[in-house]
Structure formats: structure tokens, C-alpha cells
């Protein structure tokens, strides 16, 4: 019988089962969906970054042939503004909370703000008609920079937010930090800017809503990473209707990177308009709108001081950050520069005294919210840049400074003193050592010296990072703790059908992470069934249990654990039913590798298929047992997980032009147990590309009038394969004690670990020029100026 047990698949580099459909063009994305009677929506957007709307005349647009209706913000006052679901710890954002409405009313606050909605028989007509709307604007003062926005006399965005301050938040020990810095042998100060990034998912965002007057029910297809959460927010907060009156479906989603977590105005206005006109309404943003309107990431300005001894011991860290959150508060924006940033600002180091103060700021720019890594890349960049800055100041090898200050293996679970739950597990030095070995660190300095003699500038940059995944438990992250307006558990239902096929439904929402593959691997091994016989269903509130969705690298650690716990319940029920079928005592029956057998008599056994059949037909069940193998789990983890690693970049800087070439990129990551190495590597590859791109290429720039200068892909430089080297990756495995699989999370680690590796390398290359710091991105001109200025 044991010969029948399928091969174990956890740890195998299976190709993603999602891919064939996408590769042959059979995916079903939002814009592929066409409903009978559907109208197309186009949004008229404000050309001004800040203006009072004196009047809007839609009559010419209404009269345009093919136009079905034109609406403005005044028409939609019967629905509420979008909710904020994370007002930061302690409810810091209260009386100054300004979230967007479906369409702006009275005033626009950034260039691209939504002013009017045109519905027409086709998208071209709708776009033409938008040009026929006459809006009389009274332009107002504009501020786009967070530091300038809080200065006296700066233009004010919202009456309830004096000096444009959304919140002031802090963590750590201010007094101890002041003392540590005041008495330190060495203090290094730097302004660290983490520039605005535009997430740029390959598929832009949008929504398609259908209202049925006969039932009063809405269906919303939308590009969301969290359809259940969208249902909750739209029904309970925006529309004030019962939750079951809305079904939310995420079709294939073409990348999210955080930008698709949030509740957007188009979800609200398509629903509202669909009811109003009695026809389905579709809105899909174009790339310009995605850049102008959908959320951006990062955008911090920080004043940082790091203190220590001449022999390399870090004794203090003080951070003052201005976080630009844009013109309104996006769904979870306040939580990003607070909980997910300030609380992990000390990184992988034991820093005895640390303090972070964050000011959240309104500016006349698009909203800023979570973008791949969400707070942790900003933290990791800051501390890793400052460690190098400190090492240079005292003339010590940056690898040695890291070693001297690492949290040690015996320190776990480790409390960093910043209000975070304890780091679960870690062993930082082996990852550092392995990365140094791979890159040939010992020989590099000699090579660097030789190259300098020839006028070539080589640099090496280290980054030892730690991050937070699978944020939980709800009691910590939720309202009484960190201010998240709900929970962060995850759900999973596992059913074994009478044919032996297993159907898993999850509240997670894969949009590129390969969860259909990974989750099937988990279930196949747990239940001892063939991988091919496991189907993973998701993304439709009508067919899946409530779940919080996929973001924050939470799906394996939280969603995966919910699945494993459901399979455990299935196995237990199968064992009891098998005992009944085998006329054995329950205590004598063991479930293992897809079958239940009597201990000591392995030939007396029933396969999971046989058990499932009996459970389904239910001709003979034990007293009191319900039919079917069908188990659901709502799993709330006891802690977050803390992946870590060391990344090293080698660059060459062209001394004449400042152009930076990334020559090698080495990453040693510890994401805990690896379920599918191919998928984990893929996540790391993509993540590293985005981090490298922040260091070298990407920046969202507004001019002083609040116009997005980098509003097209001709101006905003995303990474392409030809601008990156082949990564050299390895890993260490330190299982997480938080979940039974020992997984930590891999979705964001690459992004969190990489930007500072590249920047540290660039700045190392520029050491002969006396360069101590350079802001990102290290464009050729910036580097050239640093060398020749």
C-alpha cells in the first residue's frame, strides 16, 4: 500500500500551474470582461494640483452622441467618502482624517483628482465627451514636499489639518536615545531621502459594477488583492448596505505590489452609477491615470543620527521622518510609516537606545500607501545606509560593524524595544558570511585598489536586512494595539470530494505569487494525495470564506497555516471514519501518507479516497459523525515572522559620466522553510529588480505646481531585464517557530534587502572623491556631480 503514496512535493521546484493559462492568453483580466448592456466610464481629472471648483457645466458632454450620463461629485453625496482602515497606533489620525470621495466635491487637492464621470456606449465617446465638460477652477497654492508642507505659511490642503499634519507618532525611548547620542564617542548625522516610487503593476486598476434592481444586489469585478475587505468597506462604510448585497470578484490580477490592496473611488462610482442608470459600468484606468491617481510608495524625508564607539559598537539611533501621504488618506496609509517602519528601524542590530518620530503629512500629490515592502524597505534602507556611514566614519570594515552589532542566535525571541512583537527566530551571521564568500569579499578590496589605479571605480555594498511578514496577531495589530481597523487572521476551507479530489478555498488572493501551486503542494503532502488532485479556489466573495487577502508576504505564513490546520482536521475525521470502516478502535488507527491504517497492521488500511467516498455517500458513518470531509479554519497567528538575509552588490562607476553599472548581485536570504524554491526565487528576483530600480532608476517627481513630471513610462524608468545582472542567490533556513511549516514569507524580502546594497556599493565606489552619502536614485548625473562637483 505504501507504494501508492504520492511523492512528497513540498520543497520541490514545481513550475507554476497558473502559467499555461496566462502564457497562451487565456487569462481573464478585468478588461476582458464584457457584460451585456455595459457602458464605459471615463473620469475627467483636475489639471490643477489644488483648486476650488467654482462650477462644472456638463451640458455639452451630456448632449454628445453616445453619452449615457455625466455625473459630478455633487450627484454622489448619498454615499460616504472612502474609509480609512488603519489610522495608526493609538488612533493618531482622528479629527484630521480626509479620505477621497467617489468624485471630488468643491475642491481638488492634486493633479489627477477625479472631478466628473462620463458614461458612454464606448470608451472613445466617453473620452471625447470628457473634453466637453467645462470646469471653472480657482487655482490655490500648491505644496508637494513633506518637509515644506509643515512649515508655517505653506499652502493648506484641509481645514481640519493645520500645517498639513496628519499625525505625529513615535516609538522607542526618547530620553535614553538623547543620552546615548549626547555622550557618544562618534555621532554621524545624515538626511536620508527615500524617494517616491510608482508601483507600476503591468495591469492597471479598475472596476466593473453591475446592479440588479430585482434583487438589490451588486456584483463588482475589480483588480483587488483583497476582495472580501473591499466588500466590507464598500457595504458597511461607503454605501451603508447589508454586506450580502455585494459580491466582489477579483478576476486574474496582473500584479499588485500593494497598489491593489486599497479601496478606490472607481469601485464606489461604478457601483453608484450602475444603480443610477440600470446598466453595468466599467472603468479601467490607463497608464497615465495609474501614475497620476493610484497610490504611490515610500516618499520619506528623514533626519538621522547614529551614535557609537570608535571600536564599532552602535549605542544609539534617532530618526525624525516626514512621511508624505499625499492629498488624502488612502486605505491603510497611516500604518505604513508607523508600525511597519518605525518599529523595525533598528534592523538586525542590538541598539541599546533608539527612537523614531514620524510626522504624516498631506501634500498636493497622489496618495501614498503600501508598496512592496511597505515601510520595511524605508527602514532597512535607512539603518543599512547609516551603518555604512558609521563604518566609514570610524574606518572599520562595514561587514565587521555588522557582525559586532548583530542580534545573536541566543537572543531570540528578541525584543527590539520599539514596540514590536519579538523577532521570532534568526541567525544573521551565517547569511552574511555566505554572501561575503560568494562575492569574494576578501579579494575584492585588492581588485578595487587596482582598478582605482587605472581610473576605474568599483564599489561593494552590503545590506543585512530583517523584515516583518504575516503581520499578526489581530489582538496586537488591531484597534486596541496598532490601530488596524480589523483582524489579520486568514481562512481556509478544505473539502475532499467523493472522487478523492481535494478543493481548497482560501481568503488569500494570488496575483502573481503562485499560491495555487504552493497551496496545492502543502495539501498534497499533508493529505497524501497527488498534487494534481488538489484544486485551489479563491478571489470570489461568493465562493470563499471571508479572508483578508494577499499582501505583506502573509499568504504562506497565515493563509498556508490556515490550510494546514484544516487538513489536520480532515485527517482527524478521516482517522475516526477509517476506524469505523476497519472496525478498529479509533485509538489504534493512524493516518499517514494518504491512508489510515491499524497500528501494527499496515495492510488493514483505507485510503483517503476510500474514506472520502464513504464520508460522502454516508451509508455507514460512526454515531454522531456528519457526512463529508469538509473543514474550515480561521487562523490567527501568535506573532509575525521575520525573514532576513544579506545582499551584496558590486558596481562599477564610470568616472567620466557617472553612469553606474551593476556588475554582480549576490543574495543570501532566509525565508524559513521553502515550499517551492522556484517560486521563492522568482519572488526574490522580482523583488530585487524593484529594489535595484529604486537605487538606480525610479523616482516619481512633481514640479512645484504639483504636475507629475514622471507621468509616462518615457520618463519614469522601470527596470528591464537588460539593466540587471544575473542574480547569484543562496539561502540559509531558519524555520519560524510561529507556524507549523516554519515558513516566514518571501514576497517582499528581495525589495527590502536590495536598494541599500546597491547604494552602499555606489557610495563605496565614490570613496576616493570623499563622497559620504548620495540620495537615490544614483542617476549618472547625480553620481557625476558627486565626483566632479
Residue 720 interacts with other proteins (CB under 8 A): yes or no: yes
CB under 8 A: which stretch of 432-440, 542-550, 706-714, 761-769 binds other proteins?
706-714
Site track for other proteins across 11-50, x = CB under 8 A:
-------------------------------x--------
Peptide bond into 30 cis (omega under 30): no
Residue 722 Cβ vs other proteins, minimum distance, rounded to whole Å: 8
CB under 8 A: which stretch of 103-111, 401-409, 564-572, 708-716 binds other proteins?
708-716
Angle 247-248-252 from CA coordinates, rounded to 5° = 140
State which of positions 120-179 bind other proteins (CB under 8 A). Answer: 123-124, 127-128, 131
Q: Which of 221, 322, 349, 716 binds other proteins (CB under 8 A)?
A: 716
For residue 372, give the nearest of 551, 120, 572 by alpha carbon: 551
Closer to other proteins by CB, 4 or 656: give it.
Answer: 656
Phi, psi for residue 631 in degrees, rounded to 5: -135, 140
State which of positions 574-633 bind other proteins (CB under 8 A). Answer: none
β-sheet bridge partners, residue 484: 86, 478
Pairing of strands 314-326, 354-362: parallel
Q: Which of 21, 94, 585, 712 binds other proteins (CB under 8 A)?
A: 712
For residue 409, give the nearest of 397, 424, 387 by alpha carbon: 424
User: CA 695, CA 319: separation in Å to the nearest integer?
Assistant: 21
Residue 788 interacts with other proteins (CB under 8 A): yes or no: yes
The DSSP code for 530 is: -
Residue 766 Cβ vs other proteins, minimum distance, rounded to whole Å: 16
Residue 120 Cβ vs other proteins, minimum distance, rounded to whole Å: 11
**CA 741 to each of CA 297, 528, 556: distance values in angstroms, whole numbers, following the listed order:** 32, 16, 9
Helix (H, G, I), strand (E, B) or coil at 54: strand
Angle 25-28-32 from CA coordinates, rounded to 5° = 95
Residue 317 Cβ vs other proteins, minimum distance, rounded to whole Å: 32
CB under 8 A: which stretch of 166-174, 215-223, 311-319, 652-660 binds other proteins?
652-660
Residue 657 interacts with other proteins (CB under 8 A): yes or no: yes
Q: Which of 96, 697, 753, 773 binds other proteins (CB under 8 A)?
A: 697
Query: Residues in contact with other proteins, total (CB under 8 A)?
Result: 32
Residue 715 interacts with other proteins (CB under 8 A): yes or no: yes
Helix (H) or strand (E) holding 536: strand 534-537
Helix (H, G, I), strand (E, B) or coil at 193: strand
For residue 398, give the nearest of 407, 409, 406, 389 by alpha carbon: 389
The DSSP code for 237 is: I
Closer to other proteins by CB, 131 or 138: give it.
Answer: 131
Helix (H, G, I), strand (E, B) or coil at 362: strand
Site track for other proteins across 275-294, x = CB under 8 A:
-----------xxx------
Residue 715 Cβ vs other proteins, minimum distance, rounded to whole Å: 5
Residue 503 interacts with other proteins (CB under 8 A): yes or no: no
User: CA 141, CA 157: separation in Å to the nearest integer?
Assistant: 9
CB under 8 A: which stretch of 258-266, 480-488, 534-542, 773-781 binds other proteins?
773-781
Residue 781 interacts with other proteins (CB under 8 A): yes or no: yes
Closer to other proteins by CB, 489 or 702: give it.
Answer: 702
Residue 403 Cβ vs other proteins, minimum distance, rounded to whole Å: 36
End-to-end CA distance of the chain: 76
User: CA 649, CA 439: separation in Å to the nearest integer?
Assistant: 9
For residue 686, give the nearest of 660, 712, 718 by alpha carbon: 718
User: CA 332, CA 193: separation in Å to the nearest integer?
Assistant: 22
User: CA 581, CA 599: separation in Å to the nearest integer?
Assistant: 15
Structure-derived torsion over alpha carbons of residues 147, 148, 153, 154, reported in degrees to the nearest 10 = -110
CB under 8 A: which stretch of 6-14, 486-494, 759-767, 779-787 binds other proteins?
779-787
Q: Which of 412, 546, 634, 784 binds other proteins (CB under 8 A)?
A: 784
For residue 23, give the C-alpha cell.
Answer: 502564457
Residue 775 interacts with other proteins (CB under 8 A): yes or no: no
Residue 776 Cβ vs other proteins, minimum distance, rounded to whole Å: 13
Closer to other proteins by CB, 64 or 101: give it.
Answer: 64
Q: Which of 22, 174, 618, 718 binds other proteins (CB under 8 A)?
A: 718
For residue 93, give the nearest of 80, 104, 84 by alpha carbon: 84
Residue 710 interacts with other proteins (CB under 8 A): yes or no: yes
Q: By CB under 8 A, name the binding residues for other proteins.
A: 42, 123-124, 127-128, 131, 286-288, 656-657, 659, 696-697, 701, 709-710, 712-718, 720, 723, 779-781, 784-785, 788
Amino acid at each position: 500500500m505504501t507504494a501508492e503514496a504520492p511523492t512528497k512535493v513540498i520543497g520541490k521546484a514545481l513550475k507554476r500551474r497558473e502559467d499555461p493559462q496566462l502564457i497562451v492568453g487565456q487569462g481573464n483580466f478585468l478588461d476582458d470582461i464584457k457584460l451585456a448592456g455595459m457602458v464605459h466610464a471615463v473620469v475627467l481629472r483636475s489639471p490643477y494640483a489644488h483648486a476650488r471648483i467654482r462650477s462644472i457645466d456638463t451640458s455639452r458632454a451630456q448632449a454628445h452622441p453616445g453619452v449615457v450620463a455625466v455625473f459630478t461629485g455633487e450627484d454622489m453625496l448619498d454615499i460616504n467618502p472612502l474609509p480609512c482602515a488603519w489610522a495608526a497606533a493609538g488612533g493618531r489620525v482622528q479629527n484630521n482624517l480626509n479620505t477621497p470621495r467617489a468624485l471630488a466635491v468643491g475642491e481638488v487637492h492634486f493633479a489627477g483628482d477625479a472631478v466628473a464621470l462620463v458614461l458612454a456606449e464606448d470608451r472613445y465617446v466617453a473620452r471625447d465627451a470628457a473634453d466637453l465638460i467645462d470646469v471653472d477652477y480657482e487655482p490655490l497654492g500648491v505644496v508637494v514636499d513633506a518637509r515644506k508642507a509643515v512649515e508655517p505659511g505653506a499652502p493648506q490642503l484641509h481645514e481640519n489639518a493645520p500645517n498639513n499634519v496628519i499625525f505625529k507618532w513615535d516609538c522607542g525611548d526618547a530620553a535614553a536615545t538623547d543620552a546615548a547620542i549626547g555622550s557618544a564617542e562618534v555621532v554621524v548625522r545624515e538626511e536620508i531621502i527615500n524617494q517616491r516610487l510608482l508601483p507600476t503593476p503591468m495591469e492597471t486598476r479598475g472596476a466593473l459594477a453591475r446592479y440588479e434592481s430585482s434583487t438589490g444586489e451588486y456584483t463588482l469585478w475589480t483588480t483587488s488583492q483583497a476582495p472580501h475587505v473591499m466588500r466590507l468597506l464598500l457595504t458597511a462604510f461607503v454605501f451603508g448596505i447589508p454586506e450580502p448585497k455585494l459580491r466582489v470578484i477579483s478576476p486574474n490580477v496582473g500584479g499588485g505590489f500593494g497598489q491593489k490592496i486599497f479601496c478606490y473611488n472607481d469601485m464606489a462610482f461604478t457601483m453608484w452609477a450602475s444603480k443610477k442608470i440600470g446598466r453595468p459600468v466599467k472603468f479601467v484606468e490607463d497608464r497615465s491615470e495609474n501614475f497620476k491617481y493610484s497610490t504611490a510608495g515610500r516618499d520619506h524625508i528623514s533626519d538621522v543620527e547614529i551614535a557609537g564607539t570608535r571600536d564599532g559598537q552602535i549605542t544609539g539611533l534617532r530618526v525624525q521622518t516626514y512621511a508624505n501621504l499625499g492629498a488624502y488618506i488612502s486605505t491603510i496609509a497611516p500604518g505604513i510609516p508607523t508600525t511597519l517602519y518605525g518599529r523595525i528601524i533598528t534592523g538586525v542590530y542590538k541598539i541599546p537606545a533608539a527612537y523614531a518620530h514620524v510626522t504624516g503629512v498631506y501634500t498636493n500629490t497622489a496618495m501614498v500607501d503600501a508598496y512592496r515592502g511597505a515601510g520595511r524597505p524605508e527602514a532597512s534602507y535607512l539603518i543599512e545606509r547609516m551603518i555604512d556611514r558609521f563604518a566609514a566614519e570610524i574606518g572599520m570594515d562595514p561587514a565587521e560593524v555588522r557582525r559586532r552589532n548583530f542580534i545573536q542566535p541566543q537572543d531570540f525571541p528578541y525584543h527590539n524595544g520599539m514596540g514590536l512583537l519579538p523577532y521570532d527566530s534568526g541567525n544573521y551571521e551565517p547569511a552574511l558570511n555566505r554572501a561575503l564568500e560568494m562575492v569574494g569579499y576578501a579579494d575584492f578590496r585588492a581588485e578595487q585598489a587596482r582598478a582605482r589605479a587605472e581610473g576605474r571605480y568599483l564599489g561593494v555594498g552590503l545590506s543585512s536586512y530583517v523584515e516583518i511578514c504575516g503581520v499578526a496577531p489581530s489582538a496586537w495589530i488591531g484597534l486596541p494595539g496598532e490601530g488596524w481597523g480589523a483582524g489579520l487572521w486568514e481562512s481556509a476551507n478544505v473539502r475532499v470530494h467523493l472522487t478523492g479530489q481535494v478543493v481548497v478555498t482560501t481568503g488569500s488572493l494570488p496575483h502573481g505569487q503562485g499560491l495555487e501551486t504552493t497551496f496545492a503542494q502543502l495539501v498534497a503532502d499533508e493529505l497524501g494525495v497527488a498534487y494534481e488532485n488538489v484544486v485551489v479556489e479563491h478571489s470570489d466573495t461568493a465562493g470563499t470564506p471571508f479572508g483578508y487577502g494577499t499582501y505583506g508576504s502573509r499568504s504562506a505564513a497565515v493563509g498556508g497555516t490556515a490550510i494546514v490546520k484544516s487538513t489536520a482536521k480532515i485527517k482527524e475525521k478521516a482517522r475516526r471514519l477509517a476506524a469505523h470502516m476497519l472496525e478498529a478502535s479509533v485509538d489504534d488507527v493512524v493516518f499517514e501518507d494518504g491512508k489510515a491504517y491499524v497500528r501494527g497492521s499496515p495492510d488493514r488500511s483505507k485510503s483517503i479516497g476510500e474514506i472520502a467516498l464513504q464520508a460522502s455517500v454516508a451509508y455507514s458513518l460512526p454515531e454522531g459523525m456528519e457526512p463529508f470531509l469538509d473543514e474550515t479554519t480561521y487562523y490567527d497567528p501568535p506573532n509575525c515572522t521575520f525573514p532576513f538575509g544579506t545582499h551584496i552588490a558590486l558596481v562599477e562607476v564610470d568616472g567620466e559620466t557617472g553612469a553606474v553599472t551593476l556588475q554582480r548581485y549576490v543574495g543570501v536570504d532566509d525565508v524559513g522553510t521553502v515550499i517551492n524554491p522556484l517560486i521563492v526565487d522568482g519572488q526574490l528576483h522580482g523583488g530585487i529588480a524593484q529594489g535595484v530600480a529604486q537605487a538606480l532608476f525610479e523616482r516619481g517627481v512633481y514640479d512645484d505646481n504639483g504636475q507629475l513630471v514622471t507621468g509616462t513610462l518615457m520618463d519614469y524608468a522601470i527596470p528591464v531585464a537588460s539593466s540587471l545582472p544575473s542574480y547569484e542567490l543562496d539561502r540559509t533556513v531558519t524555520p519560524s517557530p510561529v507556524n507549523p511549516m516554519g515558513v516566514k514569507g518571501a514576497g517582499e524580502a528581495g525589495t527590502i534587502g536590495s536598494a541599500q546594497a546597491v547604494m552602499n556599493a555606489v557610495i563605496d565606489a565614490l570613496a576616493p572623491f570623499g563622497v559620504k552619502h548620495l540620495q537615490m536614485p544614483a542617476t549618472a548625473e547625480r553620481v557625476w556631480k558627486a565626483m566632479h562637483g
